[in-house]
Structure 1
Amino acid sequence: MTEPPFPESFARFLELRGLSQKQLAVRVASSVASVSRWKNGHSLPKLPMAETLDATLDANGKLLASWRVAASGAAVPEWARTLSGIEEAARTLHIVSPVLVPGYLQCASYAAQVFRSGWPLASDDEVARLTRLRTERLGKLPRLRVTAVFPVTALTCFDDEARKEQAQHLLELVATGRVSVHLVPAGSILLDPASTLLAFRLHSGELAISSDHADGNVIHDAASHERLQAHITGALAVALPARHSLAELKDLA
């Protein structure tokens, strides 16, 4: 079923609750002018306010669904769509990889070794295709800014050629200003998360979190976001600051 336009839905729930625009403005700590603009379709509230309005007006998610249609053209939250859709809607990404350099940041020789190890029966052509897709992905997301946490052993466990090429590639990405790298030093243990964790902040303000597994990618429900964000915070806590990580990369290149 198509959701009604946001102004229409907003006006209906405002009437059902028996509130005036002034009364609602007081309850949600906003101005009467802002409430009037939302009701008349002259502007949209930001996501946090849309959630507050939905709760205040007892709309049970219906007002929020109308807001999503107006804001992005789809009633489902952006975190409930495909990973590629989330990537394209994102402005920042915090990624924690417990073993390897994250796929977005891998160079060709590093990615090829990862694919050959993970898919031993794949042909050379298939490995080359997968490597190309992986190494080109970040370039196709020009608005995305990435903060990555991974262990220094993700580099040192590879042969000299792949290690040096990968370290140089990371230095070049950092130099663009789009990528920040935080290395977990040797001797420190990254206990959580057990699998690669990706936290996307979308242009709408919503948060989408996914994780990589052997049999595919999982997009997590919003109810688990707080717990998963704690893993990212914990990983950053044991990692080196960005400038120290940069110095470590220069030594490895």
Structure 2
Amino acid sequence: MTQTPFQECLAKFRELAGLTQQQLADRSRTSHSSVNRWKGGSGTPKKDNVALLDEALGAQGALLAAWRRTTEGTGLPEWARDLVSIERSARHLTLVTPALVPGYLQSSEVSRGVFRTAHPLATAEDLARLVKLRTERLGELSDLEVIAVFPVAAVSGLPASLRRTQAAYLLEWVETGRVAVHLVPEGTILLGPTSPLMLFRLRTGELAVVSDHADGNVIHEEPTHDRLSSQATSALAASLPLALSLDVLRTLT
């Protein structure tokens, strides 16, 4: 009998942790009979119990994602599914990041470095999957136009080989006509956004504002839009014009 993604993930992490079913039940404050039933596929736990199992096994969310794939057909949490809907409904994105090159515009080499730092225990296969998802996303959103604002140090501060490939990658995107890059010059600090800020203009004309955090994206309510939009405007005003930004990128290739 084919195992569900949840069963496979539960078995994998229980084996890695070296726990018996009873030990797992004790650590997760569930019953042995329940763990046995979930292991055998005769039942699927509720989300609260999955969170307890995930914590007990140190799965760092992997068990929750497998549970979502089993019960809902997708491993994405609700906030990510909402973001996907926003992306697909958007025609324009203003993107401000205070430190790094925005994820949509990271080269595969830089993206791999970011994910390796964020997920030090990830396998090579997991890293390859994450990099593929990130680097192909903007290509999939073929109608989306982007204005990206971020510090020149996000590129110039990279090791030489990464700096050259990242700068060339950005220039390639600019040449498509879909992306405009505005670099915040050295010595200027973005005092507004403390995390990546994304302003999506939807095809309906509505605005969706999303900020990116270590534990996921936050979709902001309409009353905050004016304040957050002004932060993006200030960041754009502090950056170099497109032509000068491109001149800087060319010196880094």
Q: TM-score range by the shorter chain?
A: 0.5 to 0.7
Q: CA deviation at 1:227?
A: 0.3
Q: CA deviation at 1:123?
A: 1.4
Residue 232 of structure 1 aligns to a residue whose secondary structure is: helix
- The aligned runs of 1:1-253 (5 Å cut-off) are 82-253=82-253
Q: Which moved more, 1:149-158 or 1:131-140?
A: 149-158
Q: CA deviation at 1:84?
A: 0.3
Residue 82 of structure 1 aligns to a residue whose secondary structure is: helix
CA distance in 2, matches of 1:99, 1:121: 24
How many residue pairs align between the two structures?
175
Q: CA deviation at 1:128?
A: 1.0
- When the two chains are superposed, the root-mean-square deviation of aligned CA atoms in Å is 1.4
The match for 1:16 is: none
Gaps of 5+ in 1: 1-78
Determine which structure has more spread, i.e. the larger CA radius of gyration. Answer: 1
Look up the equivalent residue of 1:115 and give its one-letter code.
F
CA distance in 1, matches of 2:82, 2:180: 25
CA distance in 2, matches of 1:158, 1:125: 24
Q: CA deviation at 1:118?
A: 1.3
The match for 1:50 is: none
TM-score by length of 2: 0.68
Identity %: 55
Deviations 1:222-247 (A, max 9, x none): 11000000100110111101100000
CA distance in 2, matches of 1:113, 1:157: 14
CA distance in 2, matches of 1:158, 1:122: 22
CA distance in 1, matches of 2:119, 2:157: 19
Deviations 1:11-41 (A, max 9, x none): xxxxxxxxxxxxxxxxxxxxxxxxxxxxxxx
CA distance in 2, matches of 1:91, 1:147: 12
TM-score by length of 1: 0.68
Look up the equivalent residue of 1:95 and give its one-letter code.
L
Deviations 1:85-138 (A, max 9, x none): 000000000000001100111110010011111111111111111001000000
Deviations 1:112-169 (A, max 9, x none): 0111111111111111110010000000001000000000111122111111101000
Look up the equivalent residue of 2:151 and give its one-letter code.
P
Gaps of 5+ in 2: 1-78
CA distance in 2, matches of 1:143, 1:233: 23
Residue 208 of structure 2 aligns to a residue whose secondary structure is: strand
